[in-house]
Structure 1
């Protein structure tokens, strides 16, 4: 997946991410946009979920590095 595809998919999934992890804000998503590493870190920081579980869920949604 190239950078443009990831950004497009990220936009599509933003609402789903906020529903799954209610602690994630629009500002968090803006800061992490385009960087899987930052996104996983923000979700982990806010939710306390394990990094591997977050990465697995994102991959299952079609958002891979």
Structure 2
């Protein structure tokens, strides 16, 4: 999924991330504003996961959308 597609489906993606990670705040999600790289960075910091784990998670979420 490219950047334009992610931005277009950002509301849906945010919902899926909230379902998966209840500890994410609106501020965390808004900090990324549809940018996958930024969202992955937020997830890494907030959840203490590796870059690979976060990428796998994002891939799974995006595949469902």
TM-score by length of 1: 0.76
- Provide runs of 4+ in structure 1 moved above 4 Å: none
Q: Which residue of the partner structure matches residue 51 of structure 2?
A: 51
Query: Which blocks of at least 5 consecutive residues in structure 1 are unaligned?
Result: none
CA RMSD of aligned residues (A): 1.8
Query: Which blocks of at least 5 consecutive residues in structure 2 are unaligned?
Result: none
TM-score by length of 2: 0.76
Measured against aligned partners, the alpha-carbon deviations of 1:17-55 in whole angstroms (never above 9, x if no partner) come to 112122211111111012111101111111112221111
Paired residues in the alignment total 63
